[in-house]
Amino acid sequence: MSVGALSRFRAENIRGMLRHGLITVVFCCFIAAALAITQHEPWGAQMVYSLSIGLISWLFIDVGRLLISGHREILWPSGPWGYLLVAGGVTVGFLGGNAIGDAWTHQPLLNFRSFAERKLATTIIITLTATVCMCFFFYSLGRSKHMRGQIELAQRNATEARLKLLETQLEPHMLFNTLANLRVLITADPPRAVAMLDRLNNYLRMTLSGSRALAHPLSAEFERLADYLELMSVRMGARLRYTLDLPEDLRDTPVPPLLLQPLVENSIRHGLEPKVEGGKIVVRARQDAGRLVIEVSDTGVGLDAARPSPIDGDEGEGSGFGLEQVRERLATMYGDQGRMSLAAAPAGGTRTTLSFPLPTAA
């Protein structure tokens, strides 16, 4: 037996075969009961015949379809092979099942040959009809399962494409802002411009060499954020202070890449830069009732009191390119379970909060 054929007998397909066998047993019981009532024969004998014919046909067809279906995703042979398989299953099941039933009831081997013409025709028709109906039923189940899998795959691919698009929009946005700041420093403070350029080079090298997966550990997100903050510290100097607080038990939690940087960039641009003395940014992660909560707080100028904040629950959502992209990434990845809010921090400044479900333990 080839490696490809063996791979089709994996656990998932074996479980599917056993489910088909169980359904076949139930179906055979109904047939035996109907024959016992209509033909006035012992129910036990009809049960033996029915189960023997049904299970042999099931085993022949279910094993045969896995062996000859090739590399088709729907494990059913195409064209004439499918019809030949059903015909073979009916023939083998009918002959083998009658032989077992005859032995059980102490009748001559293949006793059906002595049946009256009408009874023999009825027996053959029942066997053929039952087998074809069960095969069509199982084929429909397999095709339906395949179609569901294709739909789920298409949805995953669409989600991946959307997340990649959002990430490609965010990275140039950050890069353009950094280059604009670098241009100012080149004329105002060349040594700091060189230091900033070195930081940018290191940041881009780590970013481009990193994985482009849809998710990475939260620790990697914090490390990338630390690189970005160091890059900003070259330009802002003592006006920028920051603290990153990541509990050990949350380090391996998967999150979408580039999730926190837009929030910190927003805090710097709209919170700390307009403030003469600058301020501090604190990024803190925690878990609450099965959800991951990440807070980005700053001590900047705070929300614009003249502009009413949109509402998300009890707090405003915020606006701007980076925040909109983060909100879209949460919606794409977590649906209604992903939330983002923007509110005034109790001690002044602004606090942005992200919240989404923690992955269930394997």
Per the structure, the count of domains in the chain is 2
Report the Cα–Cα distance between both ends of the chain, in Å, rounded.
35
Separation CA 53–CA 271 (nearest Å): 78
Same domain, 214 and 105: no
Same domain, 214 and 289: yes
Domain boundary among 105, 134, 153: 153
Same domain, 70 and 202: no
Give a yes or no: residue 259 inside a domain. yes
Give a yes or no: residue 220 inside a domain. yes
Give a yes or no: residue 175 inside a domain. no
Same domain, 117 and 198: no
pLDDT for 8 equals 66
29 has pLDDT over 80: yes
Q: Predicted confidence band at 193 (pLDDT cuts at 50, 70, 90)?
A: confident
Domain boundary among 129, 153, 177: 153
The mean pLDDT of the chain is 76
Same domain, 194 and 146: no
Q: Per the structure block, which two tokens stand in for 348?
A: 């002044």
pLDDT for 312 equals 39
Average pLDDT over residues 253-260: 85
For 212-230, the pLDDT digits (tens) are 566 788 998 898 888 888 8
Same domain, 311 and 198: yes
Give a yes or no: residue 352 inside a domain. yes
Give a yes or no: residue 158 inside a domain. no
For 287-310, the pLDDT digits (tens) are 998 899 999 999 988 876 334 444
For 316-337, the pLDDT digits (tens) are 344 455 677 788 778 877 888 8
Query: 307: closest CA among 270, 253, 277?
Result: 270
Q: Enter the pTM of the model.
A: 0.51
- Owning domain of residue 12: 3-153
Average pLDDT over residues 108-124: 70
Same domain, 195 and 288: yes
